[in-house]
Amino acid sequence: TSRLILTSNPPSQPQSNFYKTFTRPVAKCALLAVFTYQLVYFGWTKLEHEEIKAERRGE
């Protein structure tokens, strides 16, 4: 004989729904912010080094 096992899904928690909905967008924004920061920092240091080299050549 085969038995049919009915599993009822427990009611979803509001916290669980919140994390399922917003985890990916928040992570995407955080990753984009870190990438933007690193890009600006790299550009800034490159310009700083070029300025220092130009000052040394001028002396």
57 pLDDT band, cuts 50/70/90, is very high
pLDDT of residue 4: 62
Contacts for 7 with CB less than 8 Å, ≥ 6 apart: none
Domain ranges of the chain: 33-59
* Mean pLDDT, range 13-18, rounded to an integer: 87
pLDDT of residue 36: 99
Q: Round to whole Å and give the CA distance between 26 and 34.
A: 12
pLDDT of residue 3: 65
* Mean pLDDT, range 44-51, rounded to an integer: 98
Phi/psi at 16 (5° precision): -60, -45
Q: Which two tokens stand for residue 11?
A: 């009611």
